């Protein structure tokens, strides 16, 4: 969340964030609640101060063997006033806190203004493949090779779920292991294997709640949520903690399955693996000093790009405009690979700097040993990378005229030396 002082002093920036991030928060109502909340606090504190004075007077009267009845009567009246004010204050505070958590992060000044049409392609690596035959989409390839079963997954779980099997399952596992090894051994991340169910507090800390609760899978009885990304458990590792400045940046990576209820429409570009309710992903999360966070964002993007370079997939890096940023992000770069089957670029990684937005919600701070001051860390996260769209890209970009798929060299040792996926 944003600092309330920042919100009070920068209403124009807040209105801009609400506009571009399409968040419906009544700022007039919010500022009224803020004023009433502070007024209640002042009144309650004043009454409590008076209450303390009366208690002292009662003690003195008893000590001097005088009748304290008058003071006791006044004390009862003040206690009743405080109780009444506290009931009103709690209701105002509840609504105020909900609205505060509903205000999105403000974008970094460098972010392009506008909606997704203002996104900027910064660079492209590799070329979109050209075939001397009519290429197939990933669904046709997968079904012909018998490595993914779409129909039986629908029978078992419903639309937008899949079964990987045989070499398809091996490809999925190879990708995950390859990505983890790259981030751990080359990029210096520490591997975590986190829970897949998290609390409401954890989801709130990273910004999924309250805004996106309808899109999440949850267990009603326990009020636990299936994670939409490993960003949630990884960021919450240090919720409520004060870290040592000398230990920053802290860099974590994790493989998890991810669960998202909203799967979009069921058109041509959302069939198969392009948009599913459950998918695997390797995530990267960083806790940094504020002054280092944008340097670390550049490193994060490069770490994600390293995966695509090693897999020899054509990709591009896109700087997102304000209107395409997530609720919590201050700046974001997307990495996209080309899908031959639907002739468009698919996002496989979003690398974001949240600055101190998540850290404030999760109360994650660092302490400078030189001055003893505590401040909020900056948090970053990025996909490194998201499957199943990488599987889409591999199947479609490395297909041959016989419908087989050439395995990228970087994956072959993870696939028991398999060089070509063909029907068994």
Q: Which active-site residues does the annotation give? A: 260, 275, 347, 350, 389
318: left (phi over 0), alpha (psi -120 to 50) or beta: beta
Antiparallel, parallel or unpaired: β 365-367 and 242-244: parallel
Non-local (6+) Cβ contacts of 40 within 8 A are 85, 88, 89, 92
What stretch of H or E contains 395? Answer: helix 389-397
**Residues 274, 277, 281, 283, CA torsion sign:** positive
Residue 324 three-state SS: helix
- Pinpoint the alpha helices (H) of 236-338: 293-311
Q: Strand pairing partners for 389?
A: none
Residue 381 three-state SS: strand
Residue 30 three-state SS: helix
Antiparallel, parallel or unpaired: β 378-386 and 278-288: antiparallel
Count of positions (residues) in the chain: 424
Q: Which long-range contacts (CB under 8 A, 24 or more apart) does 414-418 make?
A: 414/173, 414/174, 414/175, 414/177, 414/178, 415/167, 415/170, 415/171, 415/174, 416/170, 418/167, 418/170
Residue 43 CA to chain centroid, in angstroms? 39
């Amino acid at each position: 969340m944003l600092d309330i002082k920042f919100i009070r002093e920068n209403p124009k920036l807040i209105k801009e964030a609400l506009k571009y991030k399409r968040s419906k928060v009544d700022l007039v109502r919010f500022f009224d609640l803020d004023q009433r909340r502070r007024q209640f606090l002042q009144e309650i504190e004043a009454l409590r101060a008076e209450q303390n004075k009366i208690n002292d007077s009662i003690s003195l009267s008893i000590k001097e063997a005088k009748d304290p009845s008058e003071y006791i009567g006044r004390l009862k009246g003040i206690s009743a006033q405080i109780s009444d004010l506290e009931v009103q204050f709690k209701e105002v505070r509840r609504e105020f806190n909900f609205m505060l958590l509903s205000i999105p992060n403000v974008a970094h000044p460098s972010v392009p203004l506008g909606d997704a049409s203002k996104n900027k392609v910064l660079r492209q690596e590799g070329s979109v493949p050209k075939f001397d035959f009519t290429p197939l989409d990933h669904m046709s390839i997968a079904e012909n090779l018998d490595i993914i079963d779409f129909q039986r997954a629908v029978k078992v779980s419903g639309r937008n779920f899949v079964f990987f099997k045989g070499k398809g399952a091996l490809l999925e596992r190879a990708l995950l292991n390859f990505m983890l090894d790259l981030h751990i051994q080359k990029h210096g991340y520490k591997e975590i294997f986190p829970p897949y169910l998290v609390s409401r507090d954890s989801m709130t800390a990273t910004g999924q709640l309250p805004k996106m609760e309808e899109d999440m899978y949850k267990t009603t009885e326990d009020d636990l949520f299936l994670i939409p990304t490993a960003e949630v458990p990884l960021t919450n590792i240090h919720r409520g903690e004060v870290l040592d400045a000398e230990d920053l940046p802290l860099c974590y990576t994790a493989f998890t399955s991810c669960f998202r209820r909203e799967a979009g429409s069921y058109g041509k570009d959302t069939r198969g693996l392009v948009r599913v309710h459950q998918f695997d992903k390797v995530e990267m999360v960083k806790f940094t000093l504020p002054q280092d966070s944008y340097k670390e964002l550049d490193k994060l993007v490069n770490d994600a790009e390293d995966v695509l370079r090693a897999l020899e997939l054509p990709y591009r890096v896109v700087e997102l405009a304000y209107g395409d940023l997530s609720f919590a992000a201050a700046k974001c770069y997307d990495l996209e690979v080309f899908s031959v089957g639907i002739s468009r670029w698919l996002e496989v990684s979003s690398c974001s700097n949240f600055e101190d937005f998540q850290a404030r919600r999760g109360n994650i701070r660092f302490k400078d040993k030189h001055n003893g001051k505590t401040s909020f860390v900056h948090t970053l996260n990025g996909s490194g990378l998201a499957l199943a769209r990488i599987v889409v890209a591999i199947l479609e970009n490395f297909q041959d005229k016989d419908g087989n798929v050439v395995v990228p060299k970087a994956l072959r040792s993870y696939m028991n030396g398999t060089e070509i996926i063909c029907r068994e």
